């Protein structure tokens, strides 16, 4: 049985302040918890139905059996009927792109669903590292974790001040704009950083000055713009085609 202290802790982790304070985050849903348990994250506890707990391999002292109603009351999602886990955050460690590597740089991506989908997309296309502005949604947010469908365990994120970070990178910086070179005609050979801008405002002026290659996804219809996550997928697909 979960103690009142553990219940209070789990509920508090829905708030960014307490996630940062405790350096812990919550993972909800059978698939995401399974991915977590197969990763190198440190797991603090797993709460789940008896049926779910019988299917996983984890130390018994970390396991707590709950019914579906209790699980729903602990997490953010009322649809969670199987499992919930608490894991320790990894250090926010800086990195630089390796020769030939493609890295995503996220300039103020605020929507948790968009961020989670971008992480999942990066994983699909084999991009294992993302650098994000400090204003970008937190990877530890439950909605982000859920939208990644487990990809958060394989894609490393580093949060920093992009305006200070990007000038230190010795590679091409591709930026997604409405006016740039047709992405279908861009030579992506050699790797680089792909900058994806804010959902409403695009890439900020402060970051634009570092972009070496402006690229665009050609529009054939009348939509004003593309969702940031979809734009990321189209660009990543063209990177791999190249």
Q: What is the 3-state secondary structure (H, E, C) of the chain?
A: CCCHHHHHHHHHCCCHHHHHHHCEEEEECHHHHHHHHCCCCCEEEEEECHHHHCCCCCCHHHEEECCHHHHHHHCCCCCCCCEEEEEECCCCCCCCCCCCCEEEEECCCCCHHHHHHHHHHHHHCCCCEEEEECCCCCCCCHHHHHHHCCHHHCCEEEEECHHHHHHHCCCCEEEEEEEEEEHHHCCCCCCEEEEECECCCECCHHHHCCCCEEEECCCCCCCCCCCHHHHHHHHHHHHHHC
For residue 70, what are its two tokens?
Answer: 């209790």
- pLDDT digits 0-9 by tens, 192-204: 999 999 988 999 9
Going by pLDDT thresholds of 50, 70 and 90, the confidence category of residue 1 is: confident
In a domain, 123, yes or no: yes
**pTM (2 decimals)?**
0.94
**Cα separation of 102 and 190, whole Å?**
9
Is 94 inside a domain boundary?
no
The answer to whether residue 227 scores a pLDDT higher than 70 is yes
Question: Average model confidence (pLDDT) for the chain?
Answer: 94
Task: List the Cα angle 16/19/21 in 5-degree steps.
Answer: 110
Q: What is the CATH number of the domain that holds 36?
A: 3.30.1330.30
Out of 53, 88, 123, pick the residue that ends a domain: 88
Task: Say if residue 133 is in the same domain as residue 203.
Answer: yes
Show the tokens assigned to 153: 């365990």
The domain of 22 spans 4-88
Q: Which of 59, 88, 117 is the last residue of a domain?
A: 88
d(CA 159, CA 69): 36
Whether residue 96 is contained in a domain is answered as: no
Q: Is 97 among the domain residues?
A: no
List residues bridging with 103 in a β-sheet: 193
17 within some domain: yes
pLDDT score recorded for residue 78: 61
82 contacts: CB under 8 Å, gap ≥ 6: 29, 30, 33, 48, 49, 51, 52, 71
**pLDDT exceeding 90 applies to what percent of the chain?**
84
Categorize the per-residue pLDDT at 82 as very low, low, confident or very high, splitting at 50, 70 and 90: confident
Residue range 178-195: mean pLDDT, rounded: 95
Average pLDDT of the segment spanning 15-27? 96
Measure the CA–CA gap between 226 and 188, rounded to whole angstroms: 21
Residues 79 and 109 in one domain: no
Residue 103: count of CB within 10 angstroms of its CB: 24
Q: Which of 115, 124, 199, 125 lies closest to 157 in space, CA to CA? A: 115
Whether 15 and 110 share a structural domain: no
Of the residues 88, 114, 131, the one at which a domain ends: 88
Strands 24-28 and 83-88: antiparallel
Task: Answer yes or no: do 147 and 219 share one domain.
Answer: yes
Looking at the structure, do residues 233 and 115 belong to the same domain, yes or no? yes
Do 121 and 75 lie in one domain? The reply is: no
Report pLDDT for 67.
Answer: 85
Domain count, the chain: 2
Domain assignment present for 25: yes
Closest CA to 173 of 161, 186, 160: 186
Among 38-47, 74-83, 200-209, 223-232, name the one with the lowest average pLDDT.
74-83
pLDDT digits (tens, 9 = 90+) for 116-134: 999 999 999 999 999 999 9
Which residue has better confidence, 159 or 30? 159
pLDDT surpassing 80 at residue 76: no
Nearest alpha carbon to residue 6 among 86, 68, 108, 124: 86
Indicate if 53 and 15 belong to the same structural domain: yes
Q: Which of 64-68, 73-77, 98-102, 231-235 has the lowest mean pLDDT?
A: 73-77
């Amino acid at each position: 049985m979960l103690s009142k202290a553990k219940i209070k802790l789990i509920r508090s982790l829905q708030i960014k302040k307490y996630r940062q304070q405790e350096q812990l985050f919550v993972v909800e849903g059978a698939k995401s918890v399974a991915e977590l348990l197969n990763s190198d994250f440190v797991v603090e506890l797993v709460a789940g139905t008896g049926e779910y707990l019988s299917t996983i391999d984890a130390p018994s002292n970390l396991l707590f059996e709950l019914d579906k109603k209790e699980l729903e009351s602990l997490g953010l999602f009322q649809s969670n009927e199987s499992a919930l886990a608490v894991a320790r955050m990894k250090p926010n460690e800086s990195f630089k792109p390796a020769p030939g590597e493609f890295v995503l740089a996220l300039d103020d991506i605020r929507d948790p669903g968009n961020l989670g989908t971008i992480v999942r997309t990066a994983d699909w296309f084999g991009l294992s590292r993302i650098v994000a502005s400090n204003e970008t949604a937190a990877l530890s947010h439950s909605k982000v974790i859920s939208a990644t469908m487990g990809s958060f365990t394989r894609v490393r994120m580093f949060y920093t001040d992009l305006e200070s970070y990007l000038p230190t990178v010795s590679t091409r910086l591709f930026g997604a704009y409405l006016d740039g070179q047709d992405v279908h005609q861009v030579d992506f050979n050699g790797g680089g950083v792909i900058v994806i801008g804010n959902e409403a405002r695009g890439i900020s002026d402060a970051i634009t000055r570092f972009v070496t290659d402006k690229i665009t996804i050609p529009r054939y219809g009348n939509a004003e713009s593309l969702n940031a996550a979809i734009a990321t997928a189209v660009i990543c697909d063209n990177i791999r085609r190249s």
